[in-house]
Amino acid sequence: MTAAILRFRPLLPQDQAFLWDVLHVALWDPPPAPLRPRGILAHPDVRIYAEGWGRAGDVGVVALAGPDEEPAGAAWMRLVPDGAGLAWVDERTPQLGIALLPPFQRKGHGEPLLRAALDAARAHGHAQVSLTVHPENPAIALYERCGFRKSGLRRTYHLMIATP
């Protein structure tokens, strides 16, 4: 289905299986690379972003499309302690992940999804949000339109920070 996204709702603990799906899509590599093997989700450096979703401080939104409100993607953020995570800035800055499922990509849905996530971050009192992005990922332009600014490099990935 490629219908327009109609609305957003909070990402809830019962969305855990869907969160694993979108996290898998979010692990972007430049074409022609395919998606990484799904087993990457078990790696400690990856699972920290989704495991046990719904704990204190977790904030996210699900994009819903079409009349059946089919989940099309999500943007989520989590405070990760002790310097963990590629986008770690400090104990108060959540690290953001975002992905749309392939049928919904490159249709203009990313910007409303990211803006909804930043609205949720603001509503939860976050002063800033961070992410990392591969330097060849065309989503960098989207992140910049939504207020993210490059702040350094982490293992060749751009660290970007926004004030919601």
Tell whether 116 is covered by a domain.
yes
For residue 2, is pLDDT > 90? no
Which of 39, 22, 6 is closest to 96 using CA atoms?
A: 22
pLDDT level of residue 6 (50, 70, 90 thresholds): confident
pLDDT per position as a tens digit, 109-152 = 999 999 999 999 999 999 999 999 999 999 999 999 999 999 99
Q: With beta carbons less than 8 A apart as the criterion, state whether 23 and 46 touch.
A: yes
Tell whether 164 is covered by a domain.
no
Domain extent at residue 24: 5-125
pLDDT of 1: 44
CATH number at residue 46: 3.40.630.30
Name the percent of the chain lying above pLDDT 90: 92
pLDDT per position as a tens digit, 147-164 = 999 999 999 999 999 999
Separation between Cα atoms, residue 82 and residue 91, nearest integer Å: 8
